[in-house]
Every structure is written in structure tokens, then in C-alpha cells.
């Protein structure tokens, strides 16, 4: 199996809900569900790998408070070299709604100060040689994002394939954000996008044609994945062929982090040399199990393709 690493945003998620309609200012309501857990795109993917028994490294930073220490403890020895910032740890409060949607309130906290030096404090290029680096949280890690050019140079020098999932820009998909994402994708070997992201970036309503258009601007042999939620997922492979799978029908409990869990399972299968259809099946199966279980369950270790029941 080729080595794996995830690089990006790890923060605290406090999930509350469901609630509808939105409460009136100055009032208090009682909700049925609460959960305090590790969050952020990098954190969600790493938790899935950890649960599945996949070996990996994770580069992140934390704030200098009790939440930072708690995040570090969740990853044991893998967090030993995480830099500690003087800022408080980024906290995201997610309010869920009966229709499956959610609203987030997030503090800036420590994430903007995550830097390229922080990455190099944790990950050695020689250990990740020939592997995959999942790069995520691009619009939250300001210091690192400014040095993406140097990061891609480092990855290229070690034969590391970058799998990019930018996440949602805080100010939306502006022309500037789209241009920046296209530039990053031009140096990435794998694109992990949701349907809205792919169609927005390509300016094409059809997700298949959008994926083809995005792939045309990526390096030779690149893979474009479009995550379609309940409609499954599709990929345009290195040879330009289309592969798609349906998603299992499940009773959804909590969709937060579903795409990040998909990324983890997909890349674990890809790093193991599985064909793209099996990688897509792994991503949809594990993500579907995660969003339909409470407490969250990812399946048995190393059972990436076990059918969902």
C-alpha cells in the first residue's frame, strides 16, 4: 500500500439539534442531540482512516487551550509534533435542521496560522515518497495556502501525488476563488470535488462534462472525482473513461463530514491499488455508514468494500 497523509484543518465540532424554525432572538430552546467531536476536513478524514485501521500521517496545528490538548489526544502519537499556536483552538458549532441541512458558527482561531513549516515539522518527504497527500481546508489555512506553490514543488520532488479538496470558500465561489482553485488543480493528481464545486468551477451544469473539463486542465494521468451525495459518485479516470456508482439508501442521522469520510475511504482503496470502481464503492459505502450511525461508525478495520447492511 502506498503511504498516505492528510494535511489541513483540524478543529473542534460541537453539533446541536435539530431545530426548526430558527429561534427568536433572546429565547432558549431544548434540542434532542448534542455531540462534541473532532472536526475539520483533515480531522474527519483522519478519524475515518484511524477507524478503518489504515496507516497514515496527519499534519495539523492546534491552539493553546484545553480544546487543543483534547484534539491532540484524539490522535495519540500522530500529533506529537503538531505545532501549538498562541491563538485559541478553532471551534465550529453546527446547528442541524430536520431537513438534513445545517448552519455553522465558526471562530477563526488557530487555523489561519497553519503554515508550510508546520507541515514539514510533521511529515518527511522521504517517508511519503510515492504516496498520496490529501490537501484540504484551503480557504481556512491562510498561511499555508499562501505557500501552496512551494508545497506542490516539495510534493513533486518526492513523487507525492496531491489529492485536493479545497472545501467551501467563506466568501463563496467568487471569480478569484475559482481561479485560485483551478491553479491548484493544475498541479494536483486527484481532484475530490462535490457536484456544486465541479459545476461551478467548470461553468457547466452537467457534472460529467464538468469533470471532463476540469481534468483537461490537470496533469496527465489525473483523476477527477465528483461526490454527489445520495446520487453516489463518479470519476473520470486517467484514460478519460467514466466510472460511476450509486450510493446505498440509508436513514441519515448526520451528514457533517460525509465528503471527508468519502475522501479517506476512496484514497485508502486507491493507495491499495484497487480499480476506480472499487475506490468509488469504498467511498460511498463508508461515508453512507458514517452518516447513518450514532455514534458514528465506519465499519470494520480494513473492510473498505464490505457491503452496507
Q: Is residue 245 part of a domain?
A: yes
149 in helix, strand or coil? helix
Q: Is residue 87 part of a domain?
A: no
Please enumerate in sequence order all residues whose Cβ is within 8 A of that of 136, keeping only pairs 6 or more positions apart, or say none: 6, 7, 8, 9, 41, 42, 45, 164, 165, 166, 167, 260, 263
Q: Is residue 268 part of a domain?
A: yes
User: So what's the pLDDT on residue 309?
Assistant: 40
User: So what's the pLDDT on residue 96?
Assistant: 87
* Residue that has been written with the C-alpha cell 495556502 in this structure: 145
CA pair distance 78, 28, nearest whole angstrom: 40
Cα–Cα nearest to 51, from 67, 70, 73, 74: 74
What is the distance between the terminal CA atoms of the chain, rounded to a whole angstrom? 27
Q: All 3 cell numbers of residue 70?
A: 483534547
How is residue 165 annotated by DSSP? Answer: E
Distance set, CA 176 to CA 2, 151, 157, 196 (Å): 34, 20, 28, 17
User: So what's the pLDDT on residue 305?
Assistant: 47
CA angle at 180 for the pair 58 and 196, rounded to the nearest 5°: 80
Instruction: Name the pairing type of β-strands 11-17 and 91-96.
Output: parallel
Distance set, CA 90 to CA 40, 86, 87, 205 (Å): 9, 12, 9, 35
Q: Check if the beta carbon of residue 141 is closer than 8 Å to that of residue 112.
A: yes
Q: What is the pLDDT along the chain (309 residues), one digit of tens a residue?
A: 999 999 999 999 999 999 998 999 999 999 998 989 999 999 999 999 999 999 999 999 999 999 999 999 999 999 999 999 999 999 999 998 887 678 889 999 999 999 999 999 999 999 999 999 999 999 999 999 999 999 999 999 999 999 999 999 989 999 999 999 999 999 999 999 999 999 999 999 999 999 999 999 999 999 999 999 999 999 999 999 999 999 999 998 888 899 999 999 999 999 999 999 999 999 999 999 999 988 889 987 654 545 444
Q: What is the domain range of residue 165?
A: 4-9+41-61+112-291
Q: Is residue 104 part of a domain?
A: no
What is the chain's length? 309
151 in helix, strand or coil? helix
Q: Is residue 259 part of a domain?
A: yes
Distance set, CA 48 to CA 6, 45, 259 (Å): 11, 5, 11
Q: Is residue 101 part of a domain?
A: no
Q: Is residue 168 part of a domain?
A: yes
Q: Phi and psi for 210 in degrees, rounded to 5?
A: -65, -45
Q: Check if the beta carbon of residue 234 is closer than 8 Å to that of residue 226.
A: yes
Question: What is the number of domains present in the chain?
Answer: 1
Q: Is residue 89 part of a domain?
A: no
CATH of the domain at 201: 3.40.1190.20
Write out pLDDT tens, residues 161-206.
Answer: 999 999 999 899 999 999 999 999 999 999 999 999 999 999 999 9
Amino acid at each position: 500500500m502506498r503511504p498516505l497523509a492528510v494535511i489541513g484543518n483540524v478543529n473542534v465540532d460541537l453539533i446541536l439539534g435539530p431545530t426548526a424554525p430558527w429561534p427568536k432572538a433572546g429565547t432558549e430552546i431544548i434540542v434532542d442531540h448534542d455531540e462534541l467531536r473532532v472536526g475539520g476536513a483533515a480531522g474527519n478524514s483522519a478519524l475515518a482512516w484511524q477507524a478503518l485501521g489504515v496507516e497514515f500521517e496527519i499534519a495539523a496545528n492546534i491552539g493553546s487551550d484545553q480544546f487543543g490538548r483534547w484534539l491532540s489526544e484524539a490522535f495519540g502519537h500522530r500529533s506529537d509534533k503538531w505545532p501549538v499556536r498562541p491563538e485559541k483552538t478553532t471551534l465550529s458549532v453546527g446547528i442541524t435542521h430536520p431537513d438534513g441541512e445545517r448552519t455553522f458558527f465558526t471562530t477563526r482561531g488557530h487555523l489561519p496560522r497553519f503554515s508550510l513549516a508546520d507541515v514539514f515539522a510533521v511529515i518527511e518527504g522521504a517517508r511519503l515518497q510515492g504516496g498520496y497527500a490529501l490537501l484540504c481546508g484551503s480557504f481556512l489555512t491562510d498561511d499555508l495556502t499562501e505557500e501552496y506553490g512551494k508545497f506542490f514543488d516539495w510534493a513533486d520532488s518526492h513523487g507525492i501525488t496531491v489529492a485536493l479538496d479545497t472545501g467551501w470558500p467563506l466568501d463563496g465561489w467568487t471569480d478569484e476563488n475559482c481561479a485560485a482553485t483551478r491553479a491548484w488543480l493544475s498541479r494536483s493528481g486527484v481532484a475530490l470535488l462535490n457536484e456544486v464545486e465541479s459545476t461551478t468551477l467548470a461553468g457547466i451544469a452537467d457534472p460529467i462534462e464538468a469533470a471532463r473539463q476540469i481534468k483537461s486542465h490537470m496533469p496527465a494521468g489525473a483523476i477527477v472525482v465528483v461526490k454527489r451525495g445520495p446520487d453516489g459518485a463518479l470519476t473520470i479516470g486517467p484514460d478519460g473513461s467514466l466510472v460511476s456508482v450509486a450510493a446505498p439508501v440509508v436513514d441519515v442521522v448526520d451528514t457533517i463530514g460525509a465528503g471527508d469520510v468519502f475522501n479517506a475511504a476512496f484514497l485508502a482503496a486507491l493507495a491499495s491499488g484497487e480499480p476506480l470502481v472499487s475506490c468509488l464503492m469504498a467511498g460511498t459505502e463508508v461515508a453512507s455508514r458514517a452518516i447513518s450511525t450514532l455514534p458514528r461508525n465506519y465499519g470494520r478495520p480494513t473492510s473498505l468494500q464490505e457491503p452496507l447492511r
